[in-house]
Structure 1
Amino acid sequence: MPKLSVIVPCYFNEENIPVTVSGLISNEANFPAEVSFEYVFVDDGSGDATVAALRREQARYPDRVRVVELVANVGSYNAIVAGMEHATGDCMSIITADLQDPPELMMQMYDYWTKGFKLIIGNRQDREEAGLNQTFAKIFHWLMKHLALRNIPDGGFDFVFFDRQVCDEVVRMQERNSNLFYLMVWLGYAYVNIPYVRRKREIGKSRWTLQKKIKLLLDSLLSFSYFPIRAISVLGLGLGGVAFLYGIYIIGLRLLGGSGPTGWTALMVVILFVAAFQMVALGVIGEYVWRGLDAARRRPLYVVKQYDGAIK
């Protein structure tokens, strides 16, 4: 009898929890009777009453709802890894706590899983929300598709359905400062792509700040693309070529008896430009070095405070 584990990262989702649990339980009716379910909710160090709301739902559905409470906020991707480590299903899905992604799509994903596909992606064909969020998302996924992973679907995704084998591989890697969903694609399994329209958030306020979005963009590019380092190399060679030609020009003028360019303004402009490039280059290299140091430390991705009420 197949078991489906649904992993739900939670961060300041107190008001969403009852609606989300109810929606997930109702969605079970779409599946064959032989499928069993568990819902692994991971509280990512919320500062509100999210944990209390989860405990109430766990009391209502003790055979289905599991609660992993983390000691501190470690980011949604690390929280998802915590959920994956505690999940026991044969297949799994990750869904947001605000139900912007439609749970009913899981049944179609499950059908593909029974046909042998180990990764099924629900990608955002469009969004009901507009404004800066939509603009940033389009830029983010365009950069990732053209500079990092060309085999990812258009529109981006964070609603996935995957096999136990994919889960074990991702958990085993313990990847830091990366993009969990792109990592699943990077593994190389053939996947099915199901487009859908992402719903507008109806309850609560998103905690996905601009700072977190920029960090995710940097983490994703630096984890899956050598473009930043290659761009520095190409630009450095270009500047070196320009400097060499300019040097030949100056030497030629001197040999022909002419006077070289006078004034220090042009010289200062060149020096400042080269110095600025060097600082940018050091910054990019520093990002890679810091990520290497962070991985070398092998600090835990998260620390569990309680799991199903048991203190860790």
Structure 2
Amino acid sequence: MTDKDIPLVSISIPVLNEAENLDRLYARLAALAQRMRGKCDLEFIFSDNHSSDETWRKLSVLAARDERVRAVRFARNVGFQRSILANFMHTRGDAVMQIDADLQDPPELLEEFFRLWRAGHHVVYGVRRKRKEGVFINAFRRAGYWLIDKVSEHPIPRDVGDFRLVDRKVINALCAMRSSHPYLRGMIAGLGFNQTGVEYDREARVAGESKFGVGRLVSLGLTAVFNHSVVPLRLATFVGLLTLGLSALGAIYYVALRWAFPELPVGLASIHILVLFGIGLNSLLLGIIGEYILRIYILLRSEPVAIVESSLNFVARELKL
């Protein structure tokens, strides 16, 4: 803490090609810091996921102007969830607020998050009441949240993204966990602690392009399922047993039919269909098992979450590689 009565809150912001939003974001963060003056001190921690635009240059300008702006640039794009986790590792605050750079989530909600944190909640997350996106993508997201919550080993709040305030105890627990493909919403929910939500309306993106199309949403959803549920493995066992049962019934039916009607022709087409069905089913089940084995393999390789290529307003001993 910078003062025995004033906590330090880190604002964690992962960025990827967000040069158009940085000036607007910094202006709102600076105004927020002024309003929160006397309640807490703020630092702004950016993690540049190897942007190809002017993002790093703009961050360099901001860091030279304001020592509260600290940034790391990764040697390659490590993915959204890993970039958030790596950013958490570089924060110093007694609490950390995660926010995206596109300003769809209002940084001013920190005031309410902070109040609830000081009241004893270790995690305060934003619950998206409305979001200005297409009908299809909204319905797709809601269905995904519902499915992930249903199959997860522990409850995961619905309509909740990565916009949240997290206590240092939770950050330390997250950094101690090992995961090849982290899904932070599920990891934080699974840790327990005292958690609560705040409803808000999510705004539309003002500048830049969204990095999350349907394909990436599906990939993130699969990560959530495979990281926090054993349902697919149990489903594979169930489907295998069901298929064996149906095959046994089919064999009994076929023997009885051949005994009753020996003149029936041999069904070549049906044999081909059954063989192809068996091959497809086995491939599906092996694929599910392979997803879990892949995660074990990557975990055993013990790769770093991210490698820092450059940093701003950090000293060497503070960098986590």
Alignment TM class, shorter chain as reference: over 0.9
Counterpart of 1:235 in structure 2 is 239
- Which of residues 5, 10, 23 is equivalent to 2:10? 5
CA shift in 2, pair 1:46/1:18, >3 Å? same
Q: Residue 104 of structure 1: SS of its match in structure 2?
A: helix
In structure 2, C-alpha distance between the alignment counterparts of 1:150 and 1:175, rounded to whole Å: 17
TM-score (norm 1): 0.93
Counterpart of 1:87 in structure 2 is 91
Report deviation, 1:136: 2.7
Counterpart of 2:118 in structure 1 is 114
- The correspondence of residues 39-188 of structure 1 with structure 2, limited to 5 A, is 39-62=44-67, 64-148=68-152, 151-188=155-192
Report deviation, 1:254: 5.4
Counterpart of 1:22 in structure 2 is 27
Counterpart of 2:3 in structure 1 is none
Report deviation, 1:253: 4.5
In structure 2, C-alpha distance between the alignment counterparts of 1:194 and 1:222, rounded to whole Å: 28
Q: Which amino acid aligns with 1:49?
A: E
Q: Residue 202 of structure 1: SS of its match in structure 2?
A: coil
Stretch of structure 1 that moved more, 247-256 or 44-53 = 247-256
Q: Which amino acid aligns with 1:48?
A: D
In structure 2, C-alpha distance between the alignment counterparts of 1:133 and 1:302, rounded to whole Å: 30
Unaligned 5+ segments in structure 2 are: 1-5
In structure 2, C-alpha distance between the alignment counterparts of 1:189 and 1:268, rounded to whole Å: 55
CA offsets 1:216-253 (integer angstroms, 9 cap, x no match): 11111100111211222111111111111122223344
In structure 1, C-alpha distance between the alignment counterparts of 2:141 and 2:34, rounded to whole Å: 33
- The correspondence of residues 172-251 of structure 1 with structure 2, limited to 5 A, is 172-251=176-255
Report deviation, 1:125: 1.8
CA offsets 1:131-187 (integer angstroms, 9 cap, x no match): 443233122211111122562222132101010010011111132213112210111
CA offsets 1:20-49 (integer angstroms, 9 cap, x no match): 111111112442514111010111100011
Q: Which amino acid aligns with 1:297?
A: R
Report deviation, 1:11: 0.3
In structure 2, C-alpha distance between the alignment counterparts of 1:80 and 1:261, rounded to whole Å: 64
In structure 2, C-alpha distance between the alignment counterparts of 1:128 and 1:177, rounded to whole Å: 29
CA shift in 2, pair 1:261/1:92, >3 Å? farther
Q: Which amino acid aligns with 2:145?
A: H
Q: Which amino acid aligns with 2:241?
A: L
Unaligned 5+ segments in structure 1 are: none
Q: Which amino acid aligns with 1:277?
A: L
CA shift in 2, pair 1:253/1:207, >3 Å? closer
Counterpart of 1:289 in structure 2 is 293
In structure 1, C-alpha distance between the alignment counterparts of 2:146 and 2:39, rounded to whole Å: 41
- The correspondence of residues 269-288 of structure 1 with structure 2, limited to 5 A, is 269-288=273-292
Q: Which amino acid aligns with 1:213?
A: L
In structure 2, C-alpha distance between the alignment counterparts of 1:92 and 1:160, rounded to whole Å: 8
Q: Which amino acid aligns with 2:124?
A: I
* 8 Å Cα contact 1:30-1:104 kept in structure 2: no
TM-score (norm 2): 0.91
In structure 2, C-alpha distance between the alignment counterparts of 1:205 and 1:238, rounded to whole Å: 46
Q: Residue 284 of structure 2: SS of its match in structure 1?
A: helix
Q: Residue 157 of structure 2: SS of its match in structure 1?
A: coil
Q: Which amino acid aligns with 2:28?
A: G
* 8 Å Cα contact 1:250-1:260 kept in structure 2: no
Stretch of structure 1 that moved more, 2-11 or 252-261 = 252-261
Stretch of structure 1 that moved more, 289-298 or 246-255 = 246-255
Q: Residue 69 of structure 1: SS of its match in structure 2?
A: strand
Stretch of structure 1 that moved more, 130-139 or 195-204 = 130-139
* 8 Å Cα contact 1:123-1:158 kept in structure 2: no
In structure 2, C-alpha distance between the alignment counterparts of 1:123 and 1:261, rounded to whole Å: 63
* 8 Å Cα contact 1:3-1:36 kept in structure 2: yes
CA shift in 2, pair 1:104/1:249, >3 Å? same
* 8 Å Cα contact 1:71-1:305 kept in structure 2: yes
Q: Residue 201 of structure 2: SS of its match in structure 1?
A: strand
